[in-house]
Amino acid sequence: LSSDQAPLPVVTVPLLNDNYGYLIICPKEKICAAVDPVEPKKILAAAKKEGVAITHILTTHSHWDHAGGNKELIQSLKDQGKSVVVVGGANDGIPGVTKEVKEGDEFKIGSTVSVKVLDTPCHTPGHVCFYCTKADGKEKSGWGGGCVFTGDTMFVGGCGNFNSGSPEQMYSNFMKLGKLPEDTLVYCGHEYTLKNLAYACYADPENAELKERVKWAEARRKAGLPTVPSTIKDEWETNPFLRVGTETIQKYAKTTDGAKAIKFVRADKDAWGRRR
């Protein structure tokens, strides 16, 4: 599933029950990076269909449903006589990692794709997001923001579990992602959108943009299509975890402190989910 509106060629590959892997393609050299390729056979088939070779594996975090295919994919490529650079966050224990990265690190996929690393610890200690732009800085007309691959930190309309991390960390992560250009395309790790937006409507019931967003997401899923990519602008308008600075969410959470508000919203969503 290619995104024809993307400033960079991105192919979305549905994996497992509700995961997404991605191919970020450099058309000039006909190579690509595979993001969170938990099912290597599907990833390899998608790369073959696009006529590109996988030269990089970008792993957002160490959980098995994101990193669990790394070693098999490495071996499959090795059997074809090909090597691959395996990128992951420092100290996250990424299987097969050859290039550990941290905040601000930059590298390229071929000559046309620039990748900047954003540290987003919380869901796992070394979780990272990958912010990708065209290497020449000249985006496709109308799309200046590039793409960000957010793993299990930011979802469409939602937020990953904090696990061993803190509310302060996740709040910082969301503010960091929220500072990206508003037309940045957001590619997350799971298809959780309908449930996320259902909770968002519960927490933010007067939000007109949110009501339209629900209709859009329902139509996409009914047609068997993914709800990725979103945009940073969409998330500012509809994601209660990013909207913790708004009067509506602060009133609902009974605090003006961003970290305390995101902690409340996370716990409230969990409780809401158990009641359903």
Q: Looking at the annotation, which residues are catalytic?
A: 61, 63, 65-66, 123, 152, 190
Cα dihedral 201/206/210/212 (nearest 10): 120
Residue 130's beta-bridge partner residues?
117, 149
State how far the Cα of 82 lies from the Cα of 129, in Å rounded to an integer: 26
Q: What is the spatial distance between Cα 26 and Cα 24, in angstroms, rounded to a whole number? A: 7
β strands within the chain, DSSP E:
10-15, 19-26, 31-35, 53-59, 85-89, 99-101, 106-109, 113-119, 128-134, 147-151, 154-155, 158-159, 185-188, 230-231
Of 105, 123, 102, 100, which is closest to residue 174 (Cα–Cα)? 123
Q: What length does the chain have?
A: 276
